[in-house]
Amino acid sequence: MKNLIRTFLVAAMYLLSGTVIAQDKTAEMSISFGKEDDKNVCKVALVSEGKPAAEIAVKLYVKRLFGNLQIGEEVSTDETGVASFEFPSDIPLNSEGKLVVLAKVEDDENYGSIEEETQTAIGKKVDLTQLELEKRSISGADAPLYFIAGSLIIFAGIWGAIIYVILLVFKIKKSATQTN
């Protein structure tokens, strides 16, 4: 019985301490953009219980078609609870002219995982007019017009000859009835 109680207590303490280690505080994250020395800067601020959360590793990502593109290296928040990232201005914007930016704290010993998402218009606008003009391509869904025209000319030439020869066979029959 003693053993059982001891095991129960050890297990309870272990679980309790585990929870404490995993996450004992909550933090709120906010993302803002600004300029420093002509460079775009993305600032991720972490606030916990009204106070800045320092020394927390933050990663910044931009959402792309098949996954998230990490921006720079992991940055830790300073004593004001802010992690600053230099934000590039040449990432192609999506069709709505926006970038979806994600800031993440991953498995922090105090705060666990935190994620915040926002949108920005900092980036490169993709000029799709040329692509629209060249919608037809060898690798695309529709073939280029010259390709279709060339194929049809070859196809018509060969099949024209075959049909002409078949018509000759009917002419053979016709020439027989004429002589008869």
Partner 1 sequence: MIDKDFHPERTKNETFTQDEYMEMKADLLKPIQHIGLWGKVWIGFLIAVIFAGVYAYYLQETKSKYVTVSLRDYTMWGVYISNFVFFIALSMIGVLMSAVLKLTNNEWYRPLSRIAEVVALGAICFAGISIVVAMGRPDRLHYLFMYPRLQSPITWDIIVVITYVVASMVLLYIPMIPSLSTCRNHLSNMPKWQMKMYEWLSFGWEGNPEQWKLLRKGVKILTIMIIPLGVAIQTVDAWLFATTLRPEWDSTNFSGYFISGAFLLGTAAMIVATFVIRKAYKLEKYLTEMHFDKLGQAMVLMASIYIFFNINEYLVPAYKMSSMHANHLIDMFIGEGALMYWMVVLFGLFIPAILPLFPSLRKPLPLFVIALIAVIAHWFKRYLIVIPGQLHPYLPIQDVPESWTHYTPSAVELTIVAATFAGMLLIVTLFSRFFPIISVWEVAEGKLEGKDEIINYK
Task: Find the binder of partner 1 among 1, 65, 128, 176 (CB under 8 A).
Answer: 176
CB atoms within 10 A of CB 153: 10
CB 29 within 8 A of CB 44: yes
Q: CB of residue 155 vs partner 1: minimum separation in angstroms?
A: 7
- β-pair type (57-63, 112-120): unpaired
- Token pair, residue 73, equals 């290296």
Site track 140-169 with partner 1 (rule: CB under 8 A), x = hit: -x-x---xx--x---x--xx-xx-xxx-xx
Task: Find the binder of partner 1 among 95, 129, 130, 177 (CB under 8 A).
Answer: 177
Q: What phi and psi values does residue 136 have, to the nearest 5 degrees?
A: -80, 130
Q: What phi and psi values does residue 37 have, to the nearest 5 degrees?
A: 50, 50
Q: CB of residue 147 vs partner 1: minimum separation in angstroms?
A: 6
* Interface positions with partner 1 (CB under 8 A): 138-139, 141, 143, 147-148, 151, 155, 158-159, 161-162, 164-166, 168-173, 175-177, 179-180
